[in-house]
Structure 1
Amino acid sequence: MGKTSAHRQNQKTGSSVSSLLSSKVLQVLLMLCAISFVYLFYSFATTKEDFFTKSKAMYEAEKQDSIKQNANLKSDKNRQGEETMQQKQYQAAKMQSDKHSQEFHKDFHALFIFTKVQSNPKLKDKFTIVFGSLFEHAAFEDDETFHIHFVCDQEGREFAEEYLKNHVAHPKFSFKVHFHNSASVAKEVFPQVQAIQTMLGQKHPYYEDTIFFISLVLHKILPDTVHRLVQLDLDLKFTVNIKDLWKEFSYFKQDNVIGLAHENQPVYRHLLWKYRQENSETTVGNPAASGNPGFNSGVILLHLDRIRSSYLYNSYLDINKLQEVVQKYSFKGHLGDQDFYSLLSFESPELFFTLECVWNRQLCQWWKNKGYQDIFDQYFHCSGAIKIWHGNCDTPIPV
Structure 2
Amino acid sequence: MNATFWRYTTRRKLILLFCILVLILVVFEIKKSSLLYGTNKIKKPRQMSYFETAEESHVEVYNGFLTEEAEKCETIQIAVVCAGYKASREVVTLIKSVLFHRHLPIHMHFIVDAPAKKILGTLFRTWDVSDFTVSFYLADKLEPKVSWIPNLHYSGVYGLMKLLLLDVLPVGIDKVIILDIDLIFLEDIGKLWDQFSQFVDNQVIGLVENQSDWYLGKVTKHPWPALGRGFNTGLMLLHCEKLRQIKWNEIWESVTKKELLTFSATALADQDIINAVIKEHQDTVFILPCFWNVQLSMNTNSESCYGKDISSIKVLHWNSPFKNELQNIHASLFQNMFYSYAVYDGALLRNPVGKCTEVEESREEFSKDFCQEMLHKSVQLRRTHLYYLPFDYISSDHTDVTLTLHLSIDRIPMLDIICKHWEGPISVAVFLSDSDTIKLLKHIEISPTLSNRRNIGFHLVFQNFDDTSYPINLLRNIAWQQAVTEFVFLCDVDFLPSDNLYEHLKNAVLPLYPNSSKFAFIIPAFESLWHKFDFPPSKSELIDQWDRGVITPFRSYMWKVGHAATNYTKWRNSNKIYSVNRTKDFEPYVVLPKHLCPAYDKRFFGFGWNKVSHIMELDALGFKFLVLPYGFVIHLPHMASLDVVKYRSSTEYKNCIDNLKVEFIQDLVVKYGVSAEFFY
In the alignment of these two chains, the number of paired residues is 251
Structure 2 CA distance for aligned equivalents of residues 155 and 262 of structure 1: 33
Please show how residues 174-189 of structure 1 align to structure 2 within 5 Å.
174-186=131-143
Residue 302 of structure 1 is matched in structure 2 by: 238
Residue in 1 that maps onto 2:304: 381
1:316 shift after superposition: 2.3
Q: Residue 392 of structure 1 aligns to a residue in which SS?
A: coil
Partner residue, 2:323: 395
Structure 1 residues 274 and 133: CA distance shift in structure 2, 3 A: closer
Shift in Å, 1:228: 0.7
Q: Which amino acid is 2:120 matched to?
A: A
Distance 1:380 1:247 in 2: 25
Instruction: Determine if contact 1:361/1:388 at 8 Å carries over to the other structure.
Output: yes
SS of aligned partner of 1:229: strand
* CA spacing shift, 1:318–1:333, aligned 2, 3 Å: closer
Question: Secondary structure, in 3 states, of the residue corresponding to 1:261?
Answer: strand
| Corresponding position: 1:333 with 2:266 | yes
- Aligned partner letter, 1:184: K
Local SS of the residue matching 2:171: coil
Secondary structure in 2 matching 1:292:
coil
- The answer to whether residue 127 in structure 2 is matched with residue 155 in structure 1 is no
Q: 2:283 aligns with which of 325, 333, 350?
A: 350
Q: Cα offset for 1:300?
A: 1.1
**Shift in CA distance, 124/267, structure 1 to aligned 2, threshold 3 Å:** same
CA distance in 1, matches of 2:323, 2:81: 19
How far has the Cα of 1:105 moved from its partner? Answer: 8.5
Q: Which runs of 5+ in 1 are unaligned?
A: 1-102, 277-283, 286-290, 368-375
- C-alpha separation between the residues in 2 aligned to 1:339 and 1:109? 24
In the alignment, which residue of structure 2 is the partner of 1:205? 154
Which residue matches 1:240?
Answer: 187
Is 1:316 the counterpart of 2:251? The answer is yes
With over 3 angstroms needed to count, the CA separation of the structure-2 counterparts of 1:395 and 1:242, relative to structure 1, is same
- Tell me the TM-score normalized by structure 2: 0.34
Correspondence for 1:169: 128
After superposition, the C-alpha distances for 1:204-245 in whole angstroms (9 at most, x for unaligned) are: 232x31x32232232233221111111111111111112222
Say which one has the larger Rg.
Answer: 1
Query: Which of 77, 95, 117 is matched with 1:131 structurally?
Result: 95
User: Residue 391 of structure 1 aligns to which amino acid in structure 2?
Assistant: W
Provide the C-alpha distance between the structure 2 equivalents of 1:268 and 1:275, rounded to a whole number of angstroms.
Answer: 6
Amino acid at match of 1:336: A
Alpha carbons of structure 1 residues 205 and 325: separation in structure 2 relative to 1, 3 Å: closer
Preserved CA contact (<8 Å) 1:126 1:236: no
Q: In structure 1, what is the Cα distance between the partners aligned to 2:176 and 2:214?
A: 27
For residue 305 of structure 2, give the secondary structure of its aligned residue in structure 1.
Answer: coil
What per-residue deviation string (whole Å, max 9, x for no partner) do you get for residues 256-298 of structure 1?
111111111111122784699xxxxxxx76xxxxx71111111
Match for 2:153: what amino acid?
H
**Gap change, CA 1:238 and 1:258, over 3 Å in 2:** same
Cα contact 1:260–1:295 (8 A) shared by 2: yes
Q: Secondary structure at the match of 1:297?
A: strand
Match of 2:201 in 1: 254
The alpha carbon displacement at 1:301 in A equals: 0.8
Partner of 2:216: 269
Hey, which of these two has a bigger chunk of helix by percent? 1
d(CA) in 2 for partners of 1:178, 1:125: 18
Q: Do the aligned residues in 2 keep the contact of 1:264 with 1:380 (CA within 8 Å)?
A: no
CA distance in 2: counterparts of 1:358 and 1:305, whole angstroms: 26
Deviations along 1:83-138, whole A, 9 cap, x unmatched? xxxxxxxxxxxxxxxxxxxx998232111111121xxx3x3442231111111111
Q: Which amino acid in structure 2 is aligned with residue 128 of structure 1?
A: V
RMSD over aligned Cα, in angstroms?
Answer: 3.0
Whole-angstrom CA distance in 1 between matches of 2:77 and 2:111: 13
Looking at structure 2, the residues matched to 344 and 148 of structure 1 have their Cα atoms a distance apart, in angstroms, of 26
TM-score by length of 1: 0.56
Please give the secondary structure, in 2, of the residue aligned with 1:299. Answer: strand
What SS does structure 2 have at the residue aligned with 1:346? helix
1:157 is paired with a residue whose SS is: helix
